[in-house]
Structure 1
Amino acid sequence: MTLETTAVIGAGTMGHALALVHALGGCRVRLHDSNPEVLAAAPDLIRAALATLEEAGSLSGAEGRAALDRISLSDTLAEAVAGADLVVEAVVEKPEVKRAVFARIDAHAPPTAILASNTSYLDVFPLIPVARQARAAVAHWYTPPYIVDLVDLAPGPQTAPEVIEDLRALYTGFGKMPVVFDRLVPGYIANRLQAALNLESLRMIDEGWVSAQDIDRSIQHGLVHRLAVLGHMKKMDYTGLEMVRNGIAGRRYQPPGNNGETPVLDRLIAAGRSGVRAGAGFYDYGDTPAEELFRDRDLQLLRLKAHLQNLKGESK
């Protein structure tokens, strides 16, 4: 099936970026959000992302303008999904909200449309109308998706096999890196690994063993280079599997339990240090606007991505 017309429902942090991803891939995109202010802000966010991609040399100005021309805003969900081949759901991670959105999509989208949810952890399939189950799947992205290539594809219990294959072919054609699951795995791979890293990092800080800076230095100067080149499982091959087995058998490391509590984060958030957009989190960002910080992050990611592609002999 050719997926040429895409509707993106939700224009926030992920939604506007996913509209850009699909437009860069050549799709005609209609973007909708129930909040008019969020929808109105989306074009400027998309232009800023395109400017960063152009500055990094990842695309030309003409390519960016062509992608922007393929995106239109829809005031209503019905208008957005009318005639769509693919409907991308990128609304807030609340079951009741998603259920309502899927019901409205069901009322207005063509019966042949594929419904793809960007959910991170929710099992969305019970929230999707029965008649849509065969054409529904998860297509989960990582921010910023116009730079990070990984996309997790997972079917529901009734998803037709060709739906996953159509999505895999579409995103591979975009130059992305789909990982296809045979069932929904909550958190997929990357989020589950990040969850374990979060728990261990917060445990070490809360116990007073290390600082946030120590953790970042250890990751940046001890792990990142090898992980970027080898991945984790191949890194174990290079370490030697007997050594890995012996380390586990020694039981000198016990992972932290997850009791749902995060004292370190609670203290920071209570102090107004909730992250980059607040001007501080584990680090102080001073008066530097959040948009500038995100732009600098994206430029560094793009330069690293280009370097790794060159190192591995991959085409852009």
Structure 2
Amino acid sequence: MELLRLGPLGHEIPVIRHDGVCFDLRPLTHDIDPNFFAADGIERARAALDAGELEPLAGADELRIGAPLSRPSSIVCVGMNYAAHAREAGAEPPERPVIFFKMPSTIAGPTDPLELPPSATKADWEVELGVVIGARAYRVASAEAGLDYVAGYVLANDLSERRLQIEESGGQWSKGKNLPGFTPLGPWIRPAAEVDPGDLRLRSWINGEVRQDSSTSDLIFSAGEIIHQLSQAMAFEPGDVILTGTPQGVALSGKYPYLADGDVVELELDGLGRHRQVVTVTE
């Protein structure tokens, strides 16, 4: 079962896909947003589908695939969470999760054009497992308990502009992470009960050439451990997104060029679909 939002930007239709058929969720909810998750939306959608209360969405295959959720109150990101990635960046693996924040305005669909301003000369890709929170999580007791607060999982690209992140950062990372469209998500959210977040293969390609190929089994801090540790200092709300980090193979390593006009960026994560975006440098 998969949750998607289909249609033009700003006018997406919430759907649930089962056995390849997209069912219209509008009788149940106006959107897949924080209110949807706070009201146990995934289970309600599953129950409505099982009861035959939802109709197939006509023309679903012709519609744009948008980000599968909207308006999270926060996007919290974990950096240096794969040991090999930390090494290629010249850093030691952290003893505690390193975090930064992204604005909801960075969210984009998985096939939307990746538009860069001319100043974005060091744009970098980062394939990641994204966690969608399903219930308020504060002072969670353990890593195992942390997974109880997960509604589902999503494929994410934590795009970064390294010049802003490192050279003009002022000592923090978020400045280089928040250009519009810098958090493509999707194509769908898969419910937590259907995913083992500790053993998923994730990959990225640039112009058809493999850049990253790893597994979430190599995470330093697991999804549950991230929720446990960070919830001691902050409260996650339903619909919030946590990006769990990226493996080695990014342009920051010095092995590959940064993104340029016309490049094709593709990502894939087991069970969570695929992205394909074309880079366009805008004037």
Q: State the TM-score, normalized to the length of structure 1.
A: 0.23
> Greater share of strand residues, 1 or 2?
2
| Greater RCO, 1 or 2 (C-alpha within 8 Å, sep 6+) | 2
Q: State the TM-score, normalized to the length of structure 2.
A: 0.25
Larger of the two Rg values belongs to structure: 1
> Greater share of helix residues, 1 or 2?
1
